[in-house]
């Protein structure tokens, strides 16, 4: 009952391994597979699963790092405190807003950049791809400082360069209001991570069979029709994977907010709230509860993407 | 093939373990590690001097902590909670001392040492180094804010702060009339707490009325005339734009830049501004006339019937409770805080001594003509609330008193009292 399909290269691949007795060769291959992947698997368990379990365990206690003697079990009380506090819900709202706006803009701009990279003439391709990828190579903290200093009221140049734009003048303090602070935070985030999206989308574009597009062109389809009916449906898997990866990343935004406003003027995001509680207040119990909830939010995003939007990670990687 | 693999494995194992062995074996005199806050190299030089003075008994090496006080506290608290034995001596910001002392992270200071290191020391510094009536750290340098003013602006307003104390109301009136900006720190940071505390204390109140109580019994003193007077001053400066457009993000450096600009008038700030302005003049980025126009006086009063209580800051030396060389660390700390070293530190790095003797040093008088005002300010200074829950109190204040334009004497003191109380009882997030 094994389903067999022919892949692009014409080789027969099987979706499910054959049941029954395995040959010596396949057994030794399995053993080799475990030997190769096993250490990485164990390390993964040690650095991800162990801290997650520890965080959940800590979240059930009232535990302050500087008062270790007062540690006591409080059950789910920390979760009740967090979920009934407007601070959590405000941070949740801000984080969701940043995620939605940045991912949407990044997908649109990233797609445009991917098209440019895809269509660029061969001699320019290398230079263009490198140029587009430069922001992605910059460490987030460094980019956050660069954007902060560019917009800062005392040392920034933006107010002087753009004072002809209505609403911008030399007295505009970008980091003193919620709207303007979020604008700079999101602009920095978009600038830095759009190359990542465009790279994933470029891989998707490369998978769209050229003859399909040519056929559509011969049939008289316009550029827009070709995009909508041929290119986009064929790279849906790549787009959804790009959106999923970026949404997970964007939801955990920390560096930009920490550097630029440190949560002032209603810009606190969930990661910053977790940091402030665990590391700033040294309230390990309460902070762990926030971290566990943040983790559940991320799982939720994965679940929605995979079940509702049917993102197929395996096909996007070209495994099927 | 197999032999080669075995040889490779043995070589790798030796290569990996050798450096570890080298790390664990310590030859020569014990090495003390002093965790310092970033400065202009003064503490490194003092460490060198004390290593020489120890004459082979110990050596002192320094490790630099993060830039801001809150991050310094975070790192030290986490290391000490993990019983880090590498922390022998640490430079501590006074507000965080109770939090580290309460769980026993600081080694006790023996009575004879305590007596020695508090002789001829300004009272503010001794208060800041004490928790529950016991000296738990060694006073090193003591900081305070002064009122810095542009003589030309003060003269036009008919004020002479160096002769007669001035009030915040007079400063606000003068700035308003002349279209100038006041240099105050309105950023959502520790500097805002410093400002609020100085205003409340100067009005005769306290942020906490029982700072030694446990978290759920702490009582705030903001819902008082003093709290309302402080809120009135901060709110007025914020709403009327007297702190300039940069006020909601202004820290000490931003205030200094504003003060040095065309619309600078009066500023409350630490003495580093004097050496910083002198350096700018020497570099040619500011004219000499700017430096000549700067005057200094005691921190402004909230009302003219009460003495001002300026902010108190600085650094004290804590001895790590888990250090392997507590006795040597105590010895080294006493060397670090000698009046000579403090005078050197003030003259070169601009950080005022806690030792009254150091103020008589001719090098200090030459570098800081306002040394006597600083000394007087330190005698009058009020520390920030001394409680193991200082971080909650300070961050809670910053949450509710920021931005300055939103501060209202009728609502802000009550709102911050309710908020901080809920946070301390574990009923609200910060």
Inspect the interface and report whether the beta carbons of B74 and A279 lie closer than 8 Å. yes
* B429 with A171: Cβ contact below 8 A: no
Residue B300 near residue B199, CB atoms below 8 Å: no
- State the Cα angle at B217 between B213 and B222, rounded to 5°: 90
What was the pLDDT predicted at B127? 87
Q: Residue A13's pLDDT band (boundaries 50, 70, 90)?
A: very low
Could you count the other beta carbons within 10 Å of the beta carbon of residue B411?
13
**B345 in any annotated domain:** yes
CB atoms within 10 A of CB B355: 27
Residue B214, CB half-sphere, CA atoms under 13 Å: how many? 5
CB count within 10 Å of CB B15 equals 9
The total domain count for chain B is 2
Name the range with the highest mean pLDDT among A11-20, A200-209, B246-255, B356-365. Answer: B246-255
Q: What is the pLDDT of residue B281?
A: 94
Mutate to test the interface with A, among B214, B249, B322 (most CBs of A within 10 A): B249
Same domain assignment for residues B394 and B333 = no
Q: Is B106 part of a structural domain of the chain?
A: yes
In this structure, are B305 and B317 located in the same domain?
no
Q: Which two tokens stand for residue A215?
A: 């056929």
Domain of B39 in residue numbering reads as: 26-136+313-380
Q: Confidence class of residue A305 from pLDDT cuts 50, 70 and 90?
A: confident
pLDDT tens string A120-149 = 777 787 888 888 889 999 999 999 999 999
How sure is the predictor about B15, in pLDDT bands with cuts at 50, 70 and 90? low
The pLDDT assigned to B255 comes to 95
| Set of chain A residues whose Cβ sits within 8 Å of the Cβ of B257 | 154
Pair (B336, B197) in one structural domain:
no
Nearest CA in chain A to B393: A281
In chain B, the percentage of residues whose pLDDT exceeds 90 is: 73
Q: What is the mean pLDDT of residues A48-54?
A: 92
B258, B264 Cβ separation under 8 angstroms: yes
* pLDDT tier, A318 (very low <50, low <70, confident <90, very high otherwise): low
Backbone angles phi and psi of A105, in degrees to 5: -65, -40
Confidence of residue A9 (pLDDT cuts 50, 70, 90): very low
Rounded-to-integer distance, Cα A230 and Cα A214, Å: 10
Query: CA B56: distance to chain centroid?
Result: 33
- Tell me, what CATH number does B43's domain have? 3.40.190.10
pLDDT at A8: 39
Contact B254 A286 (CB under 8 A): no
Asked if pLDDT for residue B272 goes beyond 90, the answer is no
> Per the domain annotation, does B371 fall within a domain?
yes
Residue B430 lies in a domain: no
Residue B38 neighbours by CB under 8 Å, 6+ apart = B64, B65, B66, B67
How far apart CA A239 and CA A198 sit, in angstroms, is 10
Residues B59 and B203 in one domain: no
State whether residue A12 is helix, strand or coil: strand
Q: What is the DSSP string of A65-87?
A: TT-GGG-EE-TTHHHHHHHT-HH
Task: From B148, B125, B144, select the one nearest B374 (Cα to Cα).
Answer: B144
Q: How many CB pairs under 8 A join A and B?
A: 87
Q: Does A264 touch chain B (CB under 8 A)?
A: yes
Query: Averaged over A198-212, what is the pLDDT?
Result: 88
Domain check: are B337 and B302 in the same one?
no
Chain A residues with CB-CB distance to B77 below 8 A = 65-66, 282
> In this model, does residue B384 exceed pLDDT 70?
yes
As given in the structure block, the two tokens for residue A242 are 């790009």
What is the pLDDT at residue B124? 83
Q: Is A84 on the interface with B (CB under 8 A)?
A: no
B293 lies in the same domain as B409: yes
Clarify whether residues B127 and B33 are in a common domain.
Answer: yes
The CB-side HSE value for A304 (13 A sphere, CA atoms) comes to: 11
Interface touch A277/B430, C-beta < 8 Å? yes
A84 interaction partners in chain B (CB closer than 8 Å) = none
Say yes or no for a CB contact (<8 Å) between A65 and B77. yes
Q: Which CATH number fits domain A85-268+295-316: 1.10.3720.10, 2.60.15.10, 1.20.120.160, 3.40.50.11060?
A: 1.10.3720.10
Judged by CB atoms closer than 8 Å, whether chains meet at A154 and B254 is answered as yes
Based on the domain organization, do B305 and B395 belong to the same domain?
yes
Assess whether B358 and B277 both reside in one domain. Answer: no
pTM of the predicted model as reported, rounded to 2 decimal places: 0.82
Range with the poorest average pLDDT among A38-42, B321-325, B424-428: B424-428
Average pLDDT over residues B165-180: 94
Could you give the CA distance from residue B418 to residue B395 in angstroms, rounded to a whole number? 14
* Range in A11-20, A239-248, B24-33 the model is least confident about: A11-20
Residues of A in contact with B81 (CB under 8 A): 65-66, 68, 282
Q: Is the pLDDT of residue A22 over 80?
A: no
Record: contact A153-B249, CB cut-off 8 A: yes
Give the full edge-to-edge strand order of the sheet including B59-64: B59-64, B31-36, B89-92, B312-319, B138-144
Pairing of strands B264-269, B312-319: unpaired
pLDDT at B83 over 60: yes
Residue A270 · residue A247 · CB < 8 Å: no
- The residue-averaged pLDDT of A109-118 equals 90
**Same domain flag for B197 and B223:** yes
Q: Are residues B130 and B152 in the same domain?
A: no
Using CA atoms, how far apart are residues B388 and A201, in angstroms rounded to an integer? 52
pLDDT digits (tens, 9 = 90+) for B283-341: 999 999 999 999 999 999 999 999 999 999 999 999 999 999 999 999 999 999 999 99
Closest CA to B302 of B427, B194, B372, B200: B200
pLDDT for the residue A56 = 95
Q: Is the pLDDT of residue B1 over 50?
A: no
Q: Are A191 and A180 in contact (CB under 8 A)?
A: no
Mean pLDDT of chain B: 90
Across residues A193-219, what is the average pLDDT?
A: 89
Q: Which residue has the tokens 């060694």?
A: B138
Q: How does residue B2 score in pLDDT terms, banded at 50, 70 and 90?
A: low
Q: Report pLDDT for A39.
A: 94
Tell me the residue length of chain A: 320
Helix and strand tally (H, E) in chain A? 16, 4
**Domain annotation covers residue B395:** yes
Checking A304-310 for CB contacts under 8 A at 24+ apart, the result is A305/A240, A305/A243, A305/A244, A305/A247, A306/A244, A309/A240, A310/A240
- Residue B345 sits in the same domain as residue B294: no
Task: Fill in the DSSP letter of residue B382.
Answer: B
**Most confident region among A85-99, A302-316, B15-29 by mean pLDDT:** A85-99
Q: Name the 3-class secondary structure at B181.
A: strand
Average pLDDT (A158-163) is: 92
């Amino acid at each position: 009952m094994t389903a067999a399909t022919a892949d692009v290269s014409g080789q027969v691949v099987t979706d499910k391994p054959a049941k029954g007795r395995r040959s010596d060769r396949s057994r030794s291959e399995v053993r080799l597979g475990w030997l190769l992947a096993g250490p990485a698997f164990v390390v993964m368990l040690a650095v991800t699963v162990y801290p997650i379990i520890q965080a959940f365990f800590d979240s059930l206690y009232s535990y302050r790092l500087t008062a270790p003697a007062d540690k006591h079990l409080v059950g789910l009380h920390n979760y009740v405190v967090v979920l009934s506090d407007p601070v959590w819900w405000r941070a949740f709202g801000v984080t969701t807003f940043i995620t939605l706006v940045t991912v949407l803009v990044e997908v649109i701009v990233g797609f445009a950049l991917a098209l440019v990279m895809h269509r660029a003439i061969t001699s320019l391709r290398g230079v263009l791809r490198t140029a587009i990828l430069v922001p992605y190579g910059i460490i987030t903290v460094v980019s956050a400082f660069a954007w902060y200093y560019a917009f800062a009221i005392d040392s920034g140049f933006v107010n002087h360069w753009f004072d002809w734009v209505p609403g911008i003048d030399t007295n505009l303090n970008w980091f003193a209001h919620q709207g303007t602070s979020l604008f700079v935070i999101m602009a920095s985030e978009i600038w830095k991570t759009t190359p990542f999206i465009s790279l994933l989308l470029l891989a998707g574009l490369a998978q769209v069979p050229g003859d399909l597009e040519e056929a559509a062109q011969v049939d008289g389809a316009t550029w827009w029709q070709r995009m909508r009916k041929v290119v986009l449906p064929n790279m849906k898997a790549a787009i959804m994977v790009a959106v999923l990866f970026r949404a997970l990343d964007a939801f955990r935004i920390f560096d930009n907010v920490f550097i630029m406003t440190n949560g002032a003027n209603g810009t606190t995001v969930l990661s910053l709230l977790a940091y402030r509680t665990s590391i700033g207040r040294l309230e390990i119990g309460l902070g762990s509860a926030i971290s566990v909830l943040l983790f559940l939010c991320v799982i939720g995003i994965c679940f929605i993407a995979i079940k509702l939007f049917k993102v197929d990670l395996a096909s996007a990687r070209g495994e099927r | 093939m197999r032999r080669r693999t075995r040889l490779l494995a043995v070589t790798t194992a030796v290569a990996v373990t050798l450096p570890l062995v080298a790390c664990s074996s310590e030859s020569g005199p014990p090495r003390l590690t002093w965790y310092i806050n970033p400065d202009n190299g003064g503490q490194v030089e003092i460490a060198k001097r004390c290593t020489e003075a120890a004459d082979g008994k110990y050596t002192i090496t320094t490790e630099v902590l993060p830039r801001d006080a809150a991050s310094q506290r975070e790192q030290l608290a986490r290391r000490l909670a993990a019983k880090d034995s590498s922390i022998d001596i640490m430079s501590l910001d006074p507000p965080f001392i109770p939090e580290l002392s309460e769980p026993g992270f600081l080694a006790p200071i023996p009575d004879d040492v305590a007596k020695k290191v508090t002789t001829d020391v300004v009272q503010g510094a001794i208060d800041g180094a004490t928790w529950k009536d016991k000296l738990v750290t060694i006073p090193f340098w003591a900081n305070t804010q002064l009122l810095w003013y542009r003589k030309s602006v003060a003269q036009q307003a008919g004020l002479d702060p160096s002769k007669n104390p001035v009030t915040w109301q007079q400063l606000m009136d003068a700035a308003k009339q002349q279209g100038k900006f006041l240099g105050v720190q309105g950023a959502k940071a520790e500097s805002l707490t410093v400002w609020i505390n100085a205003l409340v204390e100067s009005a005769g109140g306290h942020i906490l009325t029982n700072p030694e109580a446990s978290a759920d019994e702490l009582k705030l003193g903001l819902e008082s005339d003093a709290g309302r007077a402080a809120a009135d001053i901060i709110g007025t400066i914020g709403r009327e734009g007297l702190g300039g457009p940069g006020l909601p993000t202004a820290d000490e450096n931003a205030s200094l830049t504003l003060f040095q600009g065309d619309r600078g008038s009066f500023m409350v700030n630490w003495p580093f501004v004097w050496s910083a302005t002198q350096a700018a003049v020497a570099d040619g980025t500011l004219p000499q006339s700017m430096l000549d126009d700067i005057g200094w006086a005691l921190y402004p009063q909230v009302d003219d019937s009460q003495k001002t209580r300026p902010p108190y800051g600085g650094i004290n030396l804590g001895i790590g409770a888990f250090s392997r060389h507590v006795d040597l660390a105590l010895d080294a700390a006493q060397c670090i805080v000698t009046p000579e070293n403090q005078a050197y530190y003030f003259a070169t790095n601009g950080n005022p001594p806690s030792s009254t003797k150091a103020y008589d040093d001719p090098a200090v008088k030459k570098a800081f003509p306002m040394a006597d005002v600083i000394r007087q300010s330190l005698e009058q200074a009020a520390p920030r609330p001394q409680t193991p829950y200082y971080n909650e109190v300070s961050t809670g204040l910053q949450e509710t008193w920021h931005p300055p334009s939103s501060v209202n004497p009728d609502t802000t003191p009550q709102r911050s009292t309710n908020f901080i109380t809920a946070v301390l009882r574990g009923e609200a997030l910060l």
